[in-house]
Amino acid sequence: MSAQARALAWARLSEVEAFFRERLAALRLRGGGLEPLDPVAMAENLLAIVLAIRVFARLAPDRARLERLADSALAPLRHAALA
Q: Which residues contact 16 (CB under 8 A, 6 or more apart)?
A: 47, 50
Provide the pLDDT for residue 34: 66
The whole-model pTM stands at 0.79
22: Cα within 13 Å, side-chain hemisphere:
6
Contact status, residue 42 vs residue 24, Cβ threshold 8 Å: yes
Calpha distance 13→64 (Å, rounded) = 25
Which carries the bigger pLDDT value, residue 28 or residue 63? Answer: 63
How confident is the model over 2-46, as pLDDT tens digits?
999 999 999 999 999 999 999 888 888 877 666 777 889 999 999
Q: What residue type is assigned to position 6 of the chain?
A: R
To 10 degrees, what angle do helices 3-29 and 39-59 make? 130
